[in-house]
A = this chain, B = another copy of it.
C-alpha cells in the first residue's frame, strides 16, 4: 500500500564564509533563495528545524531565524509553529515594488526607448505645488517623455521634480529611467502614493499615443517620497491599455 505523499525534509549543501563582510544571515538567506529559485528546494518541502540547521552551519539560532524571516517576509517561506518551515507552493514572482516603467520593460526583454518631448523649468501649478509641497509658482522641473517598445508608443509620462535635487540631462533621460537617475544622485527612495484609473483619450492624448480620440487609456498618478519625507517626484502617466497593464503580486501582511 502506497504511503501518503509527505513533503520530505530536504538536505541542502549550505555554507557560510565568516571572513566575508557580507552578514551571515544574508549569506544564508541568499543561498536558500537561490535553492528555491533553482528548484532544489521544492514547493512544500520542509526546511528542517532551526536548531539543527544552526548547528550544521555553525551559526546561532537567532542568525538562522533572521535569514528565514527575511524569506518569510518575501513570501517564499511559511512557518508553522509545531510543524516547521516550508517552501510555499505558489509561484511567487516579484512582489509589487517601486519600480520604473523603464526597468519593467527592460526586465521583460523589451528594449525600451525614450523620447524626451519637454525638459524645462516651469512655475508650479496649484496641483503640482500641493503634490511636491513647494510654493505655488515656484520653479519646478517639468519632463515629458514618450516611452516606446518595439518602435510603438506605449506610454506618455509627464513628471515634475523640485529643483536642486538632480540635474536632468536630456541625453541621460533617453538612455535610462528617472528612478535610476535619482538613485544614482544619492536619493533614497522610501515610498510612493499611487492612483491607477482609466479614462477616454482626449484628441491630444490620442495623437501622442497613436490611438483614436475616445479610446480607453490607463492612467497612473504618483508622488514619490525619499526617506526624509520630501516629495521628490510627481508624475502623471497615461498608458495604452492594449500594450501595457500593471502586473504584480501582493503579499498579505500578517
Q: Which residue of B lies closest to A183 (CB)?
A: B252
A149 at the interface (CB under 8 A from B): no
Can you list 8 contacts pairing A with B, beta carbon distance less than 8 Å? A78-B227, A78-B228, A90-B190, A96-B96, A191-B250, A194-B247, A214-B214, A216-B216
Chain B residue numbers with a CB within 8 Å of A214 are: 214
- The listed residue with most B CB atoms (<10 A of its CB), out of A89, A246, A250, is A250
From residue 86 to 122 of chain A, which have CB atoms closer than 8 A to chain B? 88-90, 92-93, 95-98
Interface size for A (C-beta < 8 A) is 49
Closest chain-B Cβ to A30's Cβ sits at a distance in Å of: 15
A225 at the interface (CB under 8 A from B): yes
Q: Which residue of B lies closest to A179 (CB)?
A: B252
A227–B78 CA distance with the chains assembled, in angstroms: 7
Q: Is the CB of B97 within 8 A of A253?
A: yes
Which chain A residues numbered 187 to 238 have a C-beta less than 8 Å away from chain B? 189-200, 214-218, 225, 227-231
Residues of B within 8 Å of A246, CB to CB, are: 194-197
Query: How many Å lie between the Cα of A248 and that of B193 in the bound state?
Result: 6
A-B contact sample (18 more), CB < 8 A, given A190-B252, A196-B246: A43-B229, A88-B190, A89-B225, A89-B228, A90-B190, A92-B191, A190-B251, A192-B249, A193-B248, A194-B248, A195-B245, A195-B246, A195-B247, A198-B217, A200-B215, A200-B216, A216-B216, A218-B218
Q: Is the CB of B195 within 8 A of A198?
A: no
Taking a contact as CB atoms closer than 8 A, the residue among B73, B200, B249 that contacts A73 in the complex is: B73
Known A-B contacts A229-B90, A230-B89; the reply to A252 vs B191 at CB < 8 A is yes
A43, A62, A217, A241: residue with the most chain B Cβ atoms closer than 10 Å = A241
Residues of B contacting A195 with CB < 8 Å? 245-247
CB distance from A24 to the nearest CB of B (A): 17
The 6 closest A-B pairs by CB, nearest first: A89-B229, A216-B216, A197-B245, A198-B198, A198-B241, A90-B225
Chain B nearest CB: distance from A162 CB in Å?
14
**Within the complex, what minimum Cβ distance (angstroms) separates A179 from chain B?**
10
The reply to whether the CB of A44 lies closer than 8 angstroms to some CB of chain B is yes
Scan A45-62; emit 1 where CB is below 8 A from any B CB, else 0: 000000000000000001
